[in-house]
Amino acid sequence: MNTLAFHGGKPVFEPEELDRLLPPWPPHLPETEEKLLSIYRSGKWGLCGEYEKKLMEEFAAYQDTKHCIWMCNGTTTLECALLALGVGPGDEVIVPGVTWVATAQAVQYVGATPVIVDIDPDTLCIDPEKVREAITPRTRAIIPVHLYSAIADMDAINAIAKEYGIHVLEDCAHAHGTKQHGKGVGSLSSFGSFSFQLSKLMTAGEGGCLTTNDDHLADLAFRLSHIGNSRLFPQEPLPVDLECHQYRFTEFQAAIIYDQHQHQDEYRAKRQAGAKLVIEYIKDIPCVKMQKSSYEDDDRDYYFFTFLLQKAFLKEGLTREQVLAMIRAEGILLGVGWGCPLYKSLAWNSSEGKYIKHNTDVCEDVMYNRLMAISHRVLLAEQSVVERWAEALRKVMLACTK
Ligand SMILES: Cc1ncc(COP(=O)(O)O)c(C=O)c1O
């Protein structure tokens, strides 16, 4: 029973068994099928339809903001927010070395320079002290990323931004519905940028939105992303001197997200309960260190359930790849996130010479040697299934401990 599958024992899950035991993701909601058919038949497929308008109100309130503007994805939302904040050529924007490429690409798209800094070894979000060290007279903004739903230290980041008179834009692509000190992410700075791409906690295949409490920024972001039209379209005239984009959302996306949103608290509670259970199984194992959120009172989620290997407690000579192979032999779907820091990603293929990079030792150690990550989908499984994979994880990690 306790012989690892890697060493010839019986695996906890047969090949692909765990995948079959997981609930479908994205969720299939019957009410959404009806809505999609009715939208299809109505011909009202876009231009701020009924569900997009509802979401503009409801998702804004959900994240504790006044406004929410919907766009086609979470890269265009970052770009649009930077434009609205007046960031452009000659400016520098500080980003963490561990994030999806979009965080830095958006900076590049507006003609500014991404400045990459190290992450905090506990939260894996941007390290506020490293932000401070990277500030120059050209710095215009900071983009903290709430990585894998752990929330960046917004108190520290906002204090630094205030001291130097620079903007903060939260990348909330992994953090729908999460809160710091009781306030929704995306309400803790000038803008929150959310993605609804297929892997995310809420999804319509693709999609994005910006949240903000600032009336002027909301108007500007709407116009910038809707080829100049205002939220009162068509009553207000187009601006003559604003360089705008076409980043609109469709009513099909809106209907799908609208229905998921009605269940989001329920899904989050399930993921939180699943994560709590797994943590109970592995928290006392010395070679395991959980990714933390910044504050005790953070109401976080788990876009990925993540932990780090503690090399000092691993059996002599064991590499992360060997540990992974042992876990996978038990039939568990564990991965390593993006597998490299932002600036090494092949997906950012026009990055050469277009960024400034500070010391990123923590990013490299985490991404190349230590991070273990599993998608949120496994946390939505029945409790007995979560228990089984938590037990399997415990069995392997104990065997890997010195
Ligand atoms: C941290 C982060 N920011 C931004 C994005 C961009 O979102 P999208 O894929 O919707 O353009 C992603 C998406 O994967 C992401 O993970």
Q: Is the CB of 99 under 6 A from ligand 1?
A: yes
pLDDT tier for residue 341 given thresholds of 50, 70 and 90: very high
Under a CB-based contact definition with an 8 Å cutoff, are residues 383 and 277 in contact?
A: yes
Residue 371 backbone dihedrals phi, psi, to 5 degrees? -75, 135
Residue 399 pLDDT exceeds 90: yes
Q: Mean pLDDT of all residues in the chain?
A: 95
Name residue 368's amino acid. Answer: Y
Upstream peptide bond of 234 is cis (omega within 30 degrees of 0): yes
pLDDT for 233 equals: 67
Which atom, in ligand 1's list, is nearest to the CA of 73? 10
User: How do the domains of the chain map onto residue ranges?
Assistant: 5-25+263-400, 30-258
Residue nearest to atom 16 of ligand 1 (CA): 100
Q: What confidence category does residue 362 fall into, taking pLDDT thresholds of 50, 70 and 90? A: very high
- 303 CB within 6 A, ligand 1: no
Report which ligand 1 atom has the smallest distance to the Cα of 145: 1
Report yes or no: 330 and 13 within 8 Å, Cβ to Cβ: yes
For ligand 1, say whether the CB of 208 is within 6 Å of any of its atoms: yes
Residue 142 and residue 94: Cα distance in Å, rounded? Answer: 5
Burial class (CB in 10 A: 0-12, 13-18, 19+), 41: exposed
- pLDDT at site 237: 77
Task: Name the residue among 137, 89, 114 with its Cα closest to residue 360.
Answer: 114
Pocket flag, ligand 1, residue 345 (CB < 6 Å): no
39 close to ligand 1 (CB < 6 Angstrom): no
Ligand 1 site, residue 149, Cβ cutoff 6 A: no
Distance of CA 213 to the CA centre of its chain: 21
pLDDT on residue 69: 97
Tokens describing residue 129: 């002290």
Say yes or no to pLDDT of 300 above 80: yes
Q: Report the run of H or E that residue 183 belongs to, with start and end.
A: strand 183-184
CATH of domain 5-25+263-400: 3.90.1150.10
- In this prediction, residues 267-283 reach a mean pLDDT of 96
Model confidence at 234: pLDDT above 80: no
Q: Which are the contacts of 207, defined by CB distance < 8 A and separation ≥ 6?
A: 70, 71, 72, 73, 74, 195, 196, 197, 249, 253, 257
CB contact at 8 A, 214 and 201: no
CA of 9 to the centre of ligand 1 (A): 40
| 8 A C-beta contact, residue 388 and residue 13 | yes
Report percent pLDDT > 70 for the chain.
Answer: 99
- Report the alpha-carbon distance of residue 191 to residue 213 in Å, rounded: 8
CA of 101 to the centre of ligand 1 (A): 8
Buried b (16+ CB within 10 A) or exposed e, 344-380: bbeebeebeeebebeebebbbebbeebbbbbbbbbbb
User: Among candidates 25, 301, 307, which has minimal Cα distance to 175?
Assistant: 301
Does the structural domain 30-258 have CATH classification 3.90.1150.10?
no
What's the mean pLDDT in 111-135? 98
Short-list 338, 279, 272, 273, CA closest to 307: 279
Is the CB of 102 within 6 Å of ligand 1? yes
- pLDDT, residue 320, reads 96
3-state class (DSSP) for residue 277: helix
- 70: CA distance to ligand 1 center in Å? 14
Question: pLDDT for 147-190, tens place per residue?
Answer: 999 999 999 999 999 999 999 999 999 999 999 999 999 999 99
Q: Is the CB of 171 under 6 A from ligand 1?
A: yes
280 Cα–ligand 1 center, Å:
31
Nearest CA to ligand 1 atom 14: 100
Does residue 104 line the site of ligand 1, with CB under 6 A? no
Which of 246-260, 294-308, 339-353 is the least confident region?
339-353
pLDDT of residue 67: 97
For 401, which DSSP code?
A: B
Q: Residue 105: CB within 6 Å of ligand 1?
A: no
How far apart are alpha carbons 329 and 323 in whole angstroms? 10
